[in-house]
Structure 1
Amino acid sequence: MTSTNQIGSSSALEELNVRLCGSVRILPPEHHAVYTIPVAVVLSVVLKPLLTRLDLYKICFLITVAVIYTIPWDSYLIRSGIWSYPPDVILGPKLFSIPAEELFFFVIQTYITTLLQILLNKPVLFAVHLQNEALPASRHLLVKRRTGQTIFALLIGLSLLPQFRNAEGTYMKLIILWLRLKTWLVIWLPTLYLWIVDTLALKRGTWSITSGTKLGIHVWPHLEIEEAVFFLATNTLVAWGCFAFDNAVAILDAFPDQFSSVPGTPSPLLLIKSLLLPTSSYDQKRLQGIQKGLDVLAKKSRSFYLASGVFNGRLRIDLILLYGFCRVADDLIDDAPNAKEAQDWIDRFTAYLNAAYAKSESRQGLQTSLEGFPPDARSILELLPVDRLPPKPLYELLEGFKIDLRFSTQDENPIKTSADLKRYATCVAATIGELCLSLVYYHDTDHASGDDKKERCIAAGARMGRALQYTNITRDVTTDAKVGRCYIPAEWLRNGSLKTTSETDIVQLRKRILDMAFSIYSEERDAIEDLPSYARDGIRVAVESYMEIARVLDHRIQHGENLDFAGGGKKGKASVPKLRRLIVGWRAMSGIRGHTGDR
């Protein structure tokens, strides 16, 4: 009897709870304090150094969109009695019947998912993923798009089936209209986390879905299928919004012929205009050239590849193309089977620069100068932004290649004195620093720097480039010697030869060049802070990532370790492990320099 009464009493309490509370689907303040706000804070701290003005604009833009499109839907659910909120779990303020806690959830969920998407995709150059779908090679993309649209249409049709038209399918029907499944990590990671949070809330009775409006299916104990699909659907929409934003910006950045001027924070109208641009208008040749430049950067320089992810927009694309040019020239000249062919390549690059900087507006001369270049090299050279680069540093770069060539055409070391070493480093590296900063100032839409400051920064950038080259020389003494090159001045060596100089003396000479690098670095690193703000972090990451190699070498010299091991027992050039490079990059963007106080 007692047992029966207890059961009846329990059922009556459950029924009363349903009648009083209806559907309670909300994270009360204490749940936000425990589950969502800490995650948002952690992501904010990690991403703070990486966030650009465009990223902040993207976050605010997507939050605004999420709140606008969610309010009518949520308000309808509440007014229809599918969801309800008992007074004891909310603070009180409401907007269109939606409690403040629920409105805050729209914001915090979008914020977390958007931050995660930015973090996971920071290194991605979205421009290289654009495709002209009118080309035969890209037809598969059109098929994928049509398939996605078909799936979306089927989901809409599914939501209209009879079993979803009765009361039990009300909640699922409203959700499934929004859903087209994409298994991206940026979708599933926050979705799984919110499923767990939701499960804990449902288990504790914080909320429930009104009986008669749900399907009664559970993904796992206590997690209703409607709740699971809701979080998946909303995170999917946020992710789609993120990628749509990135896609729109990529179109604006990739095609200056279509969009001559792009502000730092493009208006929603301009974003929509870019998305409406037919893919048949995409310059596929330009996209392929950018892709080749990025491939070269990723393969040849891990430090500069890491730094490239910090730059934005057309500046990033131009820097990639500049590096591609330098790398292509270096590879073709250095890898030539003999001195004559190497000189032929230098002559070809000279003819190319002559044609590129010719006053005639005709491109015929430029196309003629590119004949004979390999296809991959040609696709990069055609895109070199010569209209934004001073010609002198590019010609001086070729002079540096001529110095290298003298190693194979003369019996003696062309680097005889400290002045020769400085001249060589100036040709092959200081020029790159000057060219990079020329692009930085060209893309400086704010024009906040005066001419005097600009000239000082460019001069400092050139000197910093020389410091990075000294680091290169210190690291590569052994590998350079194997191909008959020695950049240690002959006047420093015993009898002017590396072979007759002791290993101990060679280590000290390497340290001497390394000290020159650190001296320039300590003198010029503060000039980075005078650069335009939008490029400052990227330059800082590039410099600090490369100087970390110098710190590794310096540490080995001080501790008597072998300078010619990559690390982990592998013979080769000294390098910095990937995790350490990432930490150095993060610290650099946070304004923290290096790991050694005096270096």
Structure 2
Amino acid sequence: MGLDYCLVHLTWTLPPAALLTAAYWPFFSRLDVARISTLSSIAVFCTIPWDSYLIRNRIWSYPADAIVGYTLFDIPLEEIFFFIIQTYLTSLLYIILTKDLVLSAYLLPKKNDLTKILGSAALMAATGFGIMCMLREDNLKYLSLILVWALPVLIFQWHLCGNFIAALPKKPIMISIFLPTLYLWIVDFFSLQRGTWVIERGTKLDIRLGATLDLEEALFFLMTNIMIVFGIITMDHALAIAEYDVIISNSAERHRPSFFGIFCSYMTGQRRSFDTSFLKGLNAAIEKLSQKSQNMYLGSAMFNDRLRVDLIMLYSFCRVIDDLVDEAPDRETAQSNIKEASQVLNWCFSTKRPTEPLYGYVDVEGSPEQTNDLSPLLSSIALLPTSRLTLKPLLELLSGFEMDLGFSAENQEFPIATESDLEIYAHRVAGTVASSLLELVFHNYEIGEMKQDRDQQARIINSGQHMGRALQYVNIARDIKRDAAISRVYIPSSWLAEEGITPSDVLANPYDDRLAIFENRMLSKANDAYKQSVTAIDELPKEVRGPIKTTVESYMIIGEMVRKRRQAGIKEEGKLKVPLWRRLRLAWWEMNVSH
């Protein structure tokens, strides 16, 4: 009886498992637990017969003084635990690295299946080589057993979801495979040196990496980690299909089936086609969000699947129409874009066409006009989850963009004349977005009796509007210089007049130290609105409290950074952002509190 193998776990496998678990703990979902536990069970079930064969045929052996002595089918319990802990480490690393992915976006079919065909051919060829090695029954025995055991599993996984694997980003997949593999090579290197386990001579090639690590051992850890990663990707493929079905559902309230139901449906169901128009639009929306606001894109990963996609679609529409107004070559074009958006929104909500691709739109005369080549505006509207939204906030948002068109430095026109104008503007461009977000939350979650309590919903939405305005005030305080660069001044003219300043003066000198007064005043207004509404977040489902709190608190941190920048006399024009490490720390804390 010995403890060497136990010390391997205490020294090498348990510490990184504990570290990854602690880092990811607030973000763990039932789905994550189901994926890891299912995959670990499959790994143990599939590995025990193979490992038992290797031990009984003296390919692997464990000195009596290195193990406690309890076995299952001649396999030491420490070794069985190794199956579990390796699967846990590799799959958890993959889950962490792919947390930001919208799985259903990768269902978009490719024009050809060449990658899948080539992958299948390579796996079949390797399997054939493994069979040839097995027939020789010499020092190729261990190598052949690895290939013949692992490659059929990989072929099956590749057959199920080869195209999906090929579509996923390569970087997280490669890191999930090779980082644990490299780490376990190091573990194996020292364990072989200590004699914790032994590979018998005559069954291996005696080709070593370094002084001790056998080629077969290196291949074993590489193959097992590929199987683990491909296994969890296979589950993700099933989840992506289920997620897609829920997202495109016209029902205002439809939830994903159970994990077991998804698994059974996937393994017994027929492969099917997907709406390429919808998936292209979804990919475009995700790309826009990730480019325009990487922090918001990462933050959206904390929401559940359909709510996350709903929010991405909502953001995409807001971003597209904002760009069409701000980047229009002239005021007339911008006004035309707003008018078109209003007409199409009215048509979509009146015809009750939730989530269907918009192959027609309302022209200036109000009649449907068929087209298959959608503009970014029409595409963004087509993807809006209209069955889970109301029209009013979206039209109010457009009226906020119309206020932006009221700025004209040449004609001395500045529409934010009073504090009341500021509040109206903040409500239209931010309070309305908060309203729509909360509508999506109410449709995606059953919140006890709140589902029937319209008064409570209305009160929470009202608080959300206050919070939206608070965040907009922070934006205004942060972006005084950036807004001046496009001839806009959102500081009320009445405030400026109190200090003998005009909006034109702000445009001429946005670095004027006197503007610090208005930054502070705007941030104080933001804090007041924040305090009025922050408690309402606690009435939301626990699944959304953490993500929403993280977003809100990040904006309030920006407010603090604006004050510090002004106090330090920094006059740089770059857009202030909360550092990623600080956002992750904030997200970890808020999610942990809400868990």
TM-score by length of 2: 0.86
Structure 2 residue 192 is the aligned partner of structure 1 residue 191: no
Aligned to 1:522: 531
Q: Please give the residue correspondences for 1:333-412 in structure 2 after superposition, counting only pairs within 5 Å.
A: 333-359=325-351, 367-369=360-362, 375-408=375-408, 411-412=412-413
Give the Cα–Cα distance (whole angstroms) in 1 for the partners of residues 577 and 126 of structure 2. Answer: 51
Q: 1:299 to 1:426 in 2, by over 3 A?
A: same
Deviation at 1:212, TM superposition (A): 2.8
Aligned to 1:170: 141
Aligned residue in 2 for 1:498: 503
Match of residue 237 from structure 2: 247
Counterpart-to-counterpart distance in 1, 2:248 and 2:428: 36
* Other-structure match for 2:587: 585
1:233 to 197, 214, 223: 223
Amino acid at match of 1:101: E
Cα drift, residue 122 of structure 1: 1.6
The answer (yes or no) to whether the contact 1:251–1:275 under 8 Å persists in 2 is no
Name the CA distance, whole Å, in 1 between partners of 2:352 and 2:108. Answer: 32
> Between the two proteins, what is the percent identity of the paired residues?
38
Aligned-partner Cα distance in 2 for 1:322–1:191: 41
C-alpha contact 1:255 1:282 (8 A) present in aligned 2? no
Q: What is the match of residue 467 of structure 1? A: 470
SS at match of 1:368: strand
User: Number of residue pairs matched?
Assistant: 556
Shift of 1:270: 1.8
1:488 aligns with 2:491: yes
Q: Report the equivalent of 2:426.
A: 425
Of 517, 520, 523 in structure 2, the residue corresponding to residue 511 of structure 1 is 520
Shift of 1:364: 11
CA contact (8 A) 1:113 1:187 kept: yes
63, 66, 86: which one aligns with 1:89? 66
1:116 aligned partner: 93
Indicate the residue corresponding to 1:210 in structure 2. Answer: 200
Match of 1:281 in 2: 273
Match of 2:576 in 1: 574
- Give the deviation of 1:276 after TM superposition: 6.8
Q: Distance in 2 between matches of 1:258 and 1:290?
A: 11
Separation (CA, whole Å) in 2 of partners of 1:572 and 1:104: 52
Instruction: Give 1:41 shift.
Output: 0.6
1:591 Cα deviation after fit:
4.1
Counterpart of 2:139 in 1: which secondary structure?
helix
CA distance in 2, matches of 1:374, 1:338: 22
Please report how far the alpha carbon of residue 187 of structure 1 lies from its aligned counterpart in structure 2 after TM superposition. Answer: 0.8
What's 1:476 paired with? 479
Question: In structure 2, what is the Cα distance between the partners aligned to 1:364 and 1:193?
Answer: 47
Q: Indicate the RMSD between aligned Cα atoms, in angstroms.
A: 3.0
Amino acid at match of 1:389: L
2:306 to 308, 314, 317: 314
Contact 2:243/2:256 (<8 A) preserved: no
2-side partners of 1:446 and 1:227: how far apart? Answer: 52
What is the one-letter code of the residue matched to 1:314? R
Contact 1:537 1:588 in 2 (8 A): yes
Distance 2:115 2:359 in 1: 38
1:561 to 569, 572, 580: 569
Measured in 1, the distance between the counterparts of 2:284 and 2:377 equals: 8
Q: Paired residue for 1:295? A: 287
Q: Is this contact kept in 2: 1:131–1:279, CA < 8 A?
A: no
Letter in 2 for 1:490: S
Q: CA deviation at 1:163?
A: 6.4
Q: How far did 1:304 drift?
A: 1.4
Aligned pairs for 1:4-23 (under 5 A) are none
| Partner in structure 2 of residue 9 of structure 1 | none
Residue equivalent to 1:534: 543
Structure-1-length-normalised TM-score: 0.85
- The amino acid that maps onto 1:471 is V
Distance (whole Å) between structure 2 residues aligned to residue 125 and residue 296 of structure 1: 14
Measure, in 1, the Cα distance between the counterparts of 2:475 and 2:593: 24
User: What is the deviation of 1:445?
Assistant: 5.2
Give yes or no for the alignment of 1:439 onto 2:477: no
Structure 1 window deviating more from structure 2 (105-114 vs 360-369): it is 360-369
Matched, 1:219 2:209: yes
Instruction: Name the structure 1 match of 2:262.
Output: 270
- The worse-fitting range, judged by mean Cα deviation, of 341-350 and 75-84 is 75-84
Q: Secondary structure of the residue that 1:49 maps to in structure 2?
A: helix
Matched residue type, 2:529: I
Gap change, CA 1:507 and 1:250, over 3 Å in 2: same
CA displacement at 1:464 relative to structure 2 = 1.3
Q: Secondary structure at the match of 1:160?
A: helix
Q: Deviations over 1:102-152 (max 9, x none)?
A: 11111111111111111211222222222224xxxx21xx11111111111
Are 1:426 and 1:466, in contact at CA under 8 Å, matched by a contact in 2? yes
Between the aligned partners of 1:65 and 1:346, the Cα distance in structure 2 is 55
| Counterpart contact for 1:128–1:291, Cα < 8 Å | yes
> Deviation digits for residues 239-259 of structure 1, max 9, x if unmatched?
111211222212221234887
Q: In structure 2, list runs of 5 or more residues that go unmatched.
A: 156-169, 364-368
Paired residue type of 1:379: S
Asked whether 1:161 is paired with 2:132, we answer: yes
SS in 1 for 2:55: helix
Bigger Cα Rg: 1
Quick one: distance in 1 between partners of 2:174 and 2:327? 42
Matches of 2:182 and 2:328, distance apart in 1: 55
Q: 2:121 aligns with which of 150, 167, 171?
A: 150
> 2:515 and 2:298 mapped to 1: Cα distance?
32
SS at match of 2:413: coil
Aligned with residue 48 of structure 2, among 71, 90, 97: 71
Q: How far does the alpha carbon of each residue in 1:444-500 deviate from its partner, in whole angstroms, 9 at most, with x for none?
A: 157575535544433322221111111111111122223222111111112562345
2:188, 2:352 → 1: CA distance? Answer: 67
Equivalent pair of 1:114/1:239 in contact (CA under 8 Å): yes
Aligned AA (1:104) = F
For 1:430, the aligned partner's letter is G
Whether the aligned pair in 1 keeps the contact of 2:239 and 2:262 (CA below 8 Å) is no
Match for 2:22 among 15, 32, 45? 45
Deviations 1:186-208 (Å, cap 9, x if unpaired)? 11111111111111011122221
Residue of structure 2 in register with 1:10 after alignment: none
